Structure 1
Amino acid sequence: MKKLLLSAIVASIVHGHAMAADADTKKKTVNEKHVENIRILGSTDGLRADTGSATFIDETELEKFEYDDINRILAKVPGVNIRQEDGYGLRPNIGFRGATPERSKKIALMEDGILIAPAPYSASAAYYFPQVSRMTGVEVFKGPASIKYGPNTVAGALNLTTRAIPNDSEGGLDIAAGSDGYKKYHVHYGNTNGDFGYLIEALNVSADGFKELDSGDDTGFDKNSFMAKFNYDLSTDSLNQLVELKLGYDDELSHESYVGLTDADFEKTPNRRYSASQNDLMDWEHSNALFTHFMETAEFSLTTRAYYNKFERSWNKLNGFNFDNRLEDIIADPTNTIYADFIEVLKGERDSESTRENLVLGDNAREYYSWGVQSDFAKSLNIAGIEHQLEIGIRYHVDEIERKHTVDYFTMTNGQLVKTTTNEPEKTTFNTEESKALSVYIQDTITLDVLTITAGVRGEYIDSTYQNTFKANDWLTKESRIWLPGVSAFYKFNNQLGFLMGVNKGYVPTSPQQDPQIKPEESVNYELGLRYSDDATNAEVVAFINDYSNLKESCTFSASANCSVVDTEYNAGEVDIYGLEATASHTITLTDNLDLPLSAVYTYSQSEFKESFVSDFALWGNVTAGDEVPYLAEHQITLAAELTNNNWQAAVLVKYIGEMKEAAGTGVNFEGVNTEALTVVDFSGSYDINNGEHGSVYLKVDNIFEAVESVSHRPYGARPSKPRQAVLGYKYAF
């Protein structure tokens, strides 16, 4: 059915292409400026005068390696720390400058400048992440550059930009197939006829999976994404004005599991999956609507957006045994005689022989929604000969999560799970969290000849409620009020060299159910660096310090934490995270038609808990002052080399990630255990057929040398990096 739907869309847009051949495309200016407003960063020639740390990856760069995984895309951005999990980036764990990466919950995750995590205030863990294959830009903001994009300003912000409605008839088709049953079908078409413009886009990505279940069941995924945009130009001679409606729908069915392997089994067969995880399945749907009004005069611009997002998921997964000890304990210590029988049942090598050996499978069903209205105002001023770029924003946002967690019981029989629950599933966690937030920011960029100064402040006013559905007296209401200032500067030494500096206050709010004694995460973030640019070379070096007055973390199944109450938060007190970020690119002209672009990205990170404490949080344990924050590599390096010609290009990317601690202190699973250092080499190449008139073919090979290491012992046991994957594709533009 999905393939038939895609075929129908292809037919309809080709028909639309023919109908729009003589379209009126006179009014382009307002649409182009609207696109620039949605895309927060713009690409410029020469030395960038941005006062903060910001990175923009454009569509051309995204197409070089045809990545579907945001983790691989962010390899070319310094200061990003990632904990890999499933190998495909289905539910990424992304942090910036050492911020805890779990479910990307400490970054402000946006699509087209709008918060896109399911419930960014109430439950910021991003179990939904947009398909990056349909994005035309990726923007990363760190330090003071992220002050406009809260609520989370400790780590920074990640903005994904979708395809814009074209000014002329424009479409594209992308079909690919590869190893492990990989398939991609991507089509888009848009046009502007007079004052009316539209865009239709559809994407399907699927794979059989590279892991092998003992039971022989599926371990792959199937993801769909559909988007439609419509706009209308209302411009007059004195006023540029545009309205746009974006509608989106995404879904995913993935046979993913939190269950990993014992170290002994990982050494033998790293891509194995135990039989007990055969029923694990993530099934979700996401829908969204965004209405935008853009207005611009000679004096100012104003963009107002009204948005709505809904996310529903059913996350069936193995929770453990009907036994006091936890699944992560059993996998972490398989030689313990107490656990020997349970390990055999987990692998399907032995049938369940008692109720203690029955397996507990939970459905962490959840419903999320968020909606809001956001306005951003910009005006250029000249006061007493000084240029000011004033920006003011206000947003009213509401989001909610409703948990409906249940469990069923199974026996292991001849390697298969057999359900023993005869009644309705047992209810475990039923609660609701809701947040209502009013946020504002004011930012002024002042230009004084060669010095540019940006000063701003962000305000967050949050009212939240929590209600346990089972217990009428288990509820909580609370409020949070905070102002988050920031200032940064760029000094242009000459046309090639400049220096930047900045400081801002970082903040991550607590969720509605947290007791008021749990403090929000707060920090003061500093950065100091230089930027260089000439005709062939670009470089930037930035030193950073994030001085946490309080680091917090939450108990989740994805962190293999034993949650008596799901998403309970913990405080760790003072923590220092510091390091160095460096990027450099240089293009060598070999011949008139052949260039050799080279690039390097390096991140150095160090961390230190400043206080000793005892915690039952799975990633911390008994911490002694001086211990390091887990899942933060000391060294990360990305090197890329390309050959580009008029009709073809070839590129190689080498990514190195150093080893990472998996637990900060002692008394918890995997204390003293590190992930292995990992070096992965990716290749991509493309060829334009008949100078592109008949499309182009491309070949990509991820992990050419089949480097497979344990990238994490969480959630439950050792997990492998993605092995070699080869993909052959065809693109056609019409």
Structure 2
Amino acid sequence: MTNRKFVVSPLAGALAFALGLPALAETTASPDVPADQATSLDRVVVVGTREQAAAQPGSAYVLSAEDLRSARVATVNEALRKVPGVHVRDEEGFGLRPNIGVRGLNPTRSTKVLLLEDGLPFTYAPYGDNASYFHAPIERYERVEVLKGSGMLRFGPQTIGGVINYITPEPPQDFEGQIELAAGDRGYRKGLVQIGGAGHRVDLIHKQGDGARDNQSLEQNDLNYKYSVAIGDNQKLTLRASYLNEDSQVTYSGLTDAEHRNFGARYNPFKNDTFDLERFGASATWGVAFSDAVTLATNAYYYEFHRDWWRQSSSTTDGQCGAAFTAARVAGARVNVDACNSRQLRNRDFTTWGVESRLLANYTWGSVAGELEAGVRFHREKQERLQLNGTGPTATTGALAEHNLRDVEAVSGFVQNRFDFGRFALIPAVRFESVDFSRTNRLGAGARGQSSLDEVIPGLGATFELTDNTVLFAGVHEGFAPPRAEDLISNSGGSVDVDAEESRNIELGLRGRPLDGLTYEVALFDNDFDNQVSVGSIAGGSTPLAQGEARYRGLELGARADFGTLVSLDWNPYLQLAYTALPEAEQSSALIRVDNRQLVAGSRAGNRMPYAPEHTATLRFGAELGGFDASLEAVHVASQYADFANTPVAAVNGDGQFGKLPKYTTLNLALNYDFADTGWGFYAAVKNITGREYIADRTRGILPGVPRSYYFGLNYKF
């Protein structure tokens, strides 16, 4: 393993305090605190409270702190499955590398969604390599916002699938805190300490356990600090710092079909593969309220991310250990990884920083009420990529096989204006992205290439209040996602014929609260791609990227009923549903390989896109009585294809990367009890109660879903 310690550059400190440009952070109340305790000018929100979601011109969903606590979600995957339109695929069983898809888009590495934390970029390279190889523990957050539709144009660069914004809790003024301990089977252990007061808050989280397979030991530590202080009557400064590390025994390769049959879903011979990462983040928001109608704030952010991944295989077809080794795996024979005299390091270093300004102004123009929101951002990211090829099964050094430097500079801006005509509101928006890419091969002669793109992204949304409790919303906008630096520029410095992703996204929906205790939101969507850049059976480039026309059409429904409120009971039975129907997710044209401009084998117009199940649903039924809360949850995912050719199960070729993934349903149970007036609480959870075995993924071979597991926890609040 390569040992490395972060040395935070002087720029990190400078960005934390050099807040000379003001920018917007919306004034909003958390849905879990009274309005008079709400913070202001402290962060950028995407949706806001559930009440504020009614004004959004697109689908908007908020997972509150109570939603996360009541269901005892252990991972971000479990949380996001409760959001309609979102499909999340497990990988290692701990949610450390989530694969998030929205409205049928391929979830691999979450590349088709925009992930934010407190409204700021969360991934390490949202422009040059929007892949998620890490994720903070879900316990870091008090709520999760998910937005789709034309309102996405306030954020970027990804404006196709959706925006997911993780909101960290506000630091309290009075001293308070929480201690939580949990343990379970498969080596699961969790410790959490949260302490705050006088505007400070510190969260420390440790989680460890065995993943979904053998030889898969996982450990994560997360430290998060936040400080918020008022400056006079009209300004607020919020500072954030975080440090996350992971030390895991995890491979990249899945199973062949014969390995899966012969040895079971949990089989994993790659005991020598390890994954270590460190991430440091710092950000600051300075908000200024010039009046009740005009607010500005500045956001500055800086991140460093370092990853060492030592592995002996990247997929079931990887020839790193030799042809005989690969053939034995396809035949279903046990292999000895200690006899493979190879271990390769994929080292990645990312440095990302930026400053953005946002303005919010409310005004009246005759009889029309208006709300103007505008912003500008300057963003920079650098990637340094190394590959060392060792000559032993546990090698810790090796010959340098790759040394790449990739640099991205971006300037973006947006303007959105809400024209409010009483019950009807019209919301036009436009976003501009200007991105410069460069790639330098530091091996050999040091070839270097450059490329750039400019994009104007328009959108138009509308809302109409049918009644005081029912809102019709609609929108159309252009979807845009920049290509990755490595896809746009070859290693020799030449240009690759790959375009940015572009789509036309249309949405029509209805949200309402017809009765106290009953809420719903239903939306129809149509995402039509002039060009979609897609991966097929293999992530990471083993099978070249393909691009072509595609279309996704469907329906999503989110609803909750609290029967205690509906029929005035002394206890509260409740029902919560997130459902997505995707009858169309098709290749509108045969897809073309990016590297050689040839047709992808088996791709044709009318084929279904990979990893786009026709139905997904999460149904949760529970009951609250006093301090007791219990719920049973069913998660259903329909069958999916793993490749562009839509290979059926009967035609599987043996390497585990092709073939239809069967449908599955899992059940989860959560129990909570809070002891009145003591601060103490107890909980227990069982995930996948029936022990349902299912295939979650075939991108690098067969990966199994999360096995049955349980844990118990005790927490104390003071």
Contact 1:440 1:458 in 2 (8 A): yes
1:293 corresponds to 2:295: no
1:261-289 C-alpha deviation (Å, 9 max, x unpaired): 232332454343343x1111110000011
1:395 corresponds to 2:391: no
SS of 1:32's equivalent in the other structure is coil
1:561-612 C-alpha deviation (Å, 9 max, x unpaired): 426xxxx7x3422111111111222111276430111122210112111212
Q: CA deviation at 1:474?
A: 2.0
The aligned residue for residue 516 of structure 2 is: 535
Q: Tell me which of 272, 279, 300 is aligned to 2:272.
A: 279
The aligned residue for residue 7 of structure 1 is: none
SS of 2:317's equivalent in the other structure is helix
The aligned residue for residue 178 of structure 1 is: 184
Q: How does 1:519-558 map to 2 (within 5 A)?
A: 519-533=499-513, 534-553=515-534
The aligned residue for residue 27 of structure 2 is: none
Q: CA deviation at 1:248?
A: 0.7
1:5-50 C-alpha deviation (Å, 9 max, x unpaired): xxxxxxxxxxxxxxxxxxxxxxx97971135x43332324599232
Query: Closer, same or farther in 2 for the Cα pair 1:125/1:555, shift >3 Å?
Result: farther
Q: Tell me which of 126, 132, 138 is aligned to 1:120.
A: 126
Query: Closer, same or farther in 2 for the Cα pair 1:666/1:560, shift >3 Å?
Result: farther
Query: Closer, same or farther in 2 for the Cα pair 1:350/1:91, shift >3 Å?
Result: closer
- Provide the C-alpha distance between the structure 1 equivalents of 2:522 and 2:279, rounded to a whole number of angstroms: 39
Q: CA deviation at 1:235?
A: 1.8
1:463-492 C-alpha deviation (Å, 9 max, x unpaired): 121111114452111211111111111111
The aligned residue for residue 573 of structure 2 is: 596
Equivalent position amino acid for 2:708 in 1 = R
Contact 1:402 1:432 in 2 (8 A): yes
Contact 1:619 1:663 in 2 (8 A): no
SS of 1:726's equivalent in the other structure is strand
The aligned residue for residue 227 of structure 1 is: 224
Query: Closer, same or farther in 2 for the Cα pair 1:209/1:128, shift >3 Å?
Result: closer
1:136-182 C-alpha deviation (Å, 9 max, x unpaired): 11111112121111101111211111121113222111111111111
Equivalent position amino acid for 2:238 in 1 = E
Contact 2:465 2:472 in 1 (8 A): yes
Contact 2:629 2:671 in 1 (8 A): yes
Q: Tell me which of 444, 450, 462 is aligned to 1:489.
A: 462
Q: How does 1:528-677 map to 2 (within 5 A)?
A: 528-533=508-513, 534-553=515-534, 559=539, 561-562=541-542, 570-589=545-564, 592-605=569-582, 606-613=584-591, 615=593, 621-665=601-645, 673-677=659-663
Contact 1:619 1:630 in 2 (8 A): no
Query: Closer, same or farther in 2 for the Cα pair 1:342/1:49, shift >3 Å?
Result: closer
- Provide the C-alpha distance between the structure 2 equivalents of 1:560 and 1:314, rounded to a whole number of angstroms: 16
The aligned residue for residue 116 of structure 2 is: 110
1:369 corresponds to 2:347: no
Contact 2:328 2:335 in 1 (8 A): no
Query: Closer, same or farther in 2 for the Cα pair 1:46/1:274, shift >3 Å?
Result: closer
Q: CA deviation at 1:230?
A: 2.0
The aligned residue for residue 15 of structure 1 is: none
Query: Closer, same or farther in 2 for the Cα pair 1:720/1:619, shift >3 Å?
Result: farther
Equivalent position amino acid for 2:218 in 1 = F
SS of 1:99's equivalent in the other structure is coil
Q: CA deviation at 1:629?
A: 0.6
The aligned residue for residue 43 of structure 1 is: 49
Q: CA deviation at 1:351?
A: 8.1
Range with greater deviation from structure 2 (66-75 or 667-676): 667-676
Q: CA deviation at 1:613?
A: 4.4
SS of 1:622's equivalent in the other structure is coil
Q: CA deviation at 1:670?
A: 5.8
- Provide the C-alpha distance between the structure 2 equivalents of 1:397 and 1:469, rounded to a whole number of angstroms: 24
Structure 1 runs not aligned, ≥5 long: 1-27, 214-218, 321-325, 353-357, 411-416
SS of 1:654's equivalent in the other structure is strand
Q: Tell me which of 159, 162, 166 is aligned to 1:160.
A: 166
SS of 2:79's equivalent in the other structure is helix
The aligned residue for residue 34 of structure 1 is: 41
The aligned residue for residue 328 of structure 1 is: 317
Range with greater deviation from structure 2 (262-271 or 152-161): 262-271
| Aligned pairs, number | 663
- Provide the C-alpha distance between the structure 1 equivalents of 2:534 and 2:668, rounded to a whole number of angstroms: 34
Q: How does 1:465-480 map to 2 (within 5 A)?
A: 465-472=438-445, 474-480=447-453
The aligned residue for residue 670 of structure 2 is: 684
- Provide the C-alpha distance between the structure 1 equivalents of 2:176 and 2:338, rounded to a whole number of angstroms: 59
1:721 corresponds to 2:678: no
Contact 2:80 2:88 in 1 (8 A): no
- Provide the C-alpha distance between the structure 1 equivalents of 2:56 and 2:587, rounded to a whole number of angstroms: 32
- Provide the C-alpha distance between the structure 1 equivalents of 2:465 and 2:226, rounded to a whole number of angstroms: 40
SS of 1:265's equivalent in the other structure is helix
Equivalent position amino acid for 1:134 in 2 = R
1:533-554 C-alpha deviation (Å, 9 max, x unpaired): 1212111211111110001136
- Provide the C-alpha distance between the structure 2 equivalents of 1:220 and 1:672, rounded to a whole number of angstroms: 27
Equivalent position amino acid for 2:210 in 1 = D
Q: CA deviation at 1:344?
A: 8.0
Contact 2:256 2:332 in 1 (8 A): no
Equivalent position amino acid for 1:626 in 2 = G
Structure 2 runs not aligned, ≥5 long: 1-34, 489-494, 648-652
Q: CA deviation at 1:430?
A: 1.1
Equivalent position amino acid for 1:347 in 2 = R
Runs of 4+ residues deviating >4 angstroms = 28-31, 44-47, 336-346, 349-352, 616-620, 666-672
Query: Closer, same or farther in 2 for the Cα pair 1:692/1:562, shift >3 Å?
Result: same
The aligned residue for residue 689 of structure 2 is: 704
Contact 1:187 1:203 in 2 (8 A): yes
- Provide the C-alpha distance between the structure 2 equivalents of 1:674 and 1:530, rounded to a whole number of angstroms: 34
TM-score by length of 1: 0.85
SS of 1:150's equivalent in the other structure is coil
Query: Closer, same or farther in 2 for the Cα pair 1:385/1:181, shift >3 Å?
Result: same
